[in-house]
């Protein structure tokens, strides 16, 4: 599983990345957390508000810092 | 509503600390305790309410409305400026929002009306102004900000500045048909609460610094002491306030306690407000972000127009409020 964090690098993006990593260990799945910081790559997903979280190329949420539990739910949806 | 808070501040500062009521330190500390509690209560209520309301107006929806509006250009600008008040965006989203709007076919001038209204009419500032100065001041603040956003957007739209937008903005192939999530009311309430807590965590230091400076002024600067320099009599006061405010960077919530103290010390209301707008609407970090999509000339035009708009608001306020 590949989890992408879309964001140009503000504090919210870093927080979402940390939450995603925590969610991965909490869900007990093997997943890679990747940061996407290039604006062109971010826009390709159609996202206008950062940070956004993409799991297996599907935009799960944007414009907010999802909590660990929310991300665990997303991971289970995409398993 | 804040009478018990004032009693608490009096009890703590004059009773427990034993400071004299008319001493400089006592009056400064009393102001600090009272304003800190009052402003954090106001901030929590205001941010929570506004975040919840605006969860119903996501920018994705705004973009759809603006891109579809092929009729009246004026209507597009008015809509964009109104949506700028309620549509959330943190400054790190300014660039993706700009690209997203332009790519979806929203005219450049209309996009600017939105981009100017959003920071200019700051919803936290609006709520605090209402809470501390009443409905009249809050209304003039909104209306003048909206007029600036509409007029500036129309002017920028007429100047055919598309070539001064960084070329890659138009070369992107983006998906503008993203699905807009529709959370339940309960989810919105929870999201708003999380957002409110995060935001207060982010701005609390600015607020405390603002109140501390306000408290210092309260104790040591007598009523109307600044009136000869920054009062209505000085036609350059607004200009000076804006020039001082632009390089400073703070959150609106940190400036409002200062605005109330500046006015008490004799600075005209419009002058104090234009100072606040200069600090919040024109900030160096945001300019650096916008530089990624705007070529220097367009960025300079943007700053000039917003700056002139703030000056206009200052003079308008000073003119209206006797």
ipTM for the complex shown:
0.81
Domain map (residue ranges) of chain A: 2-78
Query: What does the pLDDT read at residue B264?
Result: 85
Partner-chain residue, chosen from A50, A59, A61, that has the shortest CB–CB distance to B93: A50
pLDDT at A22: 94
pLDDT at B91: 64
pLDDT in tens, A1-60: 999 999 887 778 889 999 999 999 999 888 999 999 888 888 888 888 888 999 998 889
Is B198 within 8 Å of chain A by CB?
Answer: yes
CA separation for the pair B201, A15 (Å, rounded): 13
Q: What does the pLDDT read at residue A53? A: 93
- Listed in sequence order, the residues at least 6 apart from B159 whose beta carbon sits closer than 8 Å to its beta carbon are B301
SS3 helix, strand, coil % of chain B, rounded to 5?
75, 0, 25
Q: How far off is chain A from B100, nearest CA to CA, in Å?
A: 6
Q: What do you get for the CA distance between the two ends of chain B, in Å?
A: 28
Q: Is the dihedral of CA B74, B77, B83, B85 positive or negative?
A: negative
Q: In terms of Cα–Cα distance, which of B3, B36, B41, B33 is closest to B16?
A: B33
Q: What pairing do the DSSP bridges indicate for beta strands A2-6 and A32-36?
A: parallel
Residues of A with CB under 8 A from a CB of B: 7-13, 39-40, 42-50, 59, 61-65, 67
- The stretches in chain B having pLDDT less than 70 are 70-71, 87-92, 175-176, 322
SS3 of residue B199 by DSSP? helix
Contacting residues of A for B97, CB less than 8 Å apart: 48-49
- Where does the pLDDT of residue A68 fall: very low under 50, low under 70, confident under 90, or very high at 90 and above? very high
**CB-CB: which of B101, B175, B181 is closest to A45?**
B175
Sign of the dihedral through C-alpha B196, B197, B202, B206: positive
CA distance B8 to chain A (A): 36
pLDDT at B58: 82
Q: Is B173 on the interface with A (CB under 8 A)?
A: yes
Distance set, CA B17 to CA A17, B22, B58, B217, B280 (Å): 46, 14, 49, 20, 36
State pTM to two decimals.
0.79
Q: Is the omega angle on the peptide bond into residue A51 within 30 degrees of 0, that is, cis?
A: yes
Distance CA B49, CA B45 (A): 6
Q: Which of chain A's residues have a Cβ under 8 Å away from the Cβ of B90?
A: 10, 12, 49
The pLDDT, as a whole number, for residue A17 is 93
**CATH for the A2-78 domain, from 1.20.1260.10, 3.30.420.40, 3.30.930.10, 3.40.30.10:** 3.40.30.10
The pLDDT of residue A19 is: 93
* Residue showing tokens 């390089």: B247
Predicted confidence at residue A3, as pLDDT, reads 94
Contact between A10 and B90 using a beta-carbon 8 Å cutoff:
yes
């Amino acid at each position: 599983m590949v989890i992408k964090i879309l964001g140009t690098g503000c504090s919210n993006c870093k927080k979402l990345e940390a939450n995603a990593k925590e969610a991965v260990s909490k869900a007990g799945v093997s997943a890679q957390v990747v940061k996407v910081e290039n604006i062109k790559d971010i826009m390709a997903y159609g996202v206008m508000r950062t940070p956004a979280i993409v799991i297996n190329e599907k935009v799960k949420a944007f414009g907010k810092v999802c909590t660990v539990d929310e991300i665990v739910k997303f991971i289970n949806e995409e398993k | 509503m804040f009478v018990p808070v004032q009693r608490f501040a009096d009890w703590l500062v004059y009773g427990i600390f034993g400071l004299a009521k008319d001493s400089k330190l006592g009056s400064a500390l009393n102001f600090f305790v009272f304003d800190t509690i009052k402003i954090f209560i106001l901030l929590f209520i205001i941010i929570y309410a506004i975040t919840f309301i605006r969860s119903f107006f996501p920018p994705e929806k705004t973009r759809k409305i603006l891109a579809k509006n092929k009729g009246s250009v004026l209507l597009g600008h008015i809509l964009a400026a109104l949506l700028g008040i309620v549509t959330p965006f943190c400054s790190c989203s300014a660039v993706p929002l700009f690209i997203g709007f332009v790519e979806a076919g929203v005219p450049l001038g209309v996009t600017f009306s939105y981009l100017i209204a959003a920071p200019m009419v700051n919803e936290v500032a609006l709520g605090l102004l209402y809470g501390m100065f009443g409905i009249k001041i809050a209304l003039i603040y909104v209306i003048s900000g909206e007029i600036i956003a509409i007029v500036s957007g129309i002017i920028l739209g007429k100047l055919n500045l598309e070539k001064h937008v960084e070329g890659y903005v138009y070369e992107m192939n983006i998906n503008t048909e993203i699905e807009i999530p529709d959370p339940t009311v309960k989810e919105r309430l929870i999201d708003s609460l999380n957002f409110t807590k995060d935001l207060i965590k982010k701005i609390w230091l600015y607020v405390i610094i603002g109140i501390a400076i306000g408290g210092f002024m309260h104790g040591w600067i007598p009523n109307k002491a600044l009136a000869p320099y920054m009062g209505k009599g000085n036609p350059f006061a607004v200009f000076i306030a804006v020039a001082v405010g632009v390089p400073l960077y703070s959150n609106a919530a940190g400036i409002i306690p200062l605005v109330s103290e500046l006015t008490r010390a004799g600075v005209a209301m419009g002058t104090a407000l234009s100072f606040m707008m200069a600090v919040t609407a024109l900030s160096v970090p945001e300019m650096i972000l916008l530089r990624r999509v705007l070529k220097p000339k367009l960025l300079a035009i943007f700053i000039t127009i917003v700056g002139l708009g703030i000056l206009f608001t200052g003079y308008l306020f000073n003119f209206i409020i006797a």
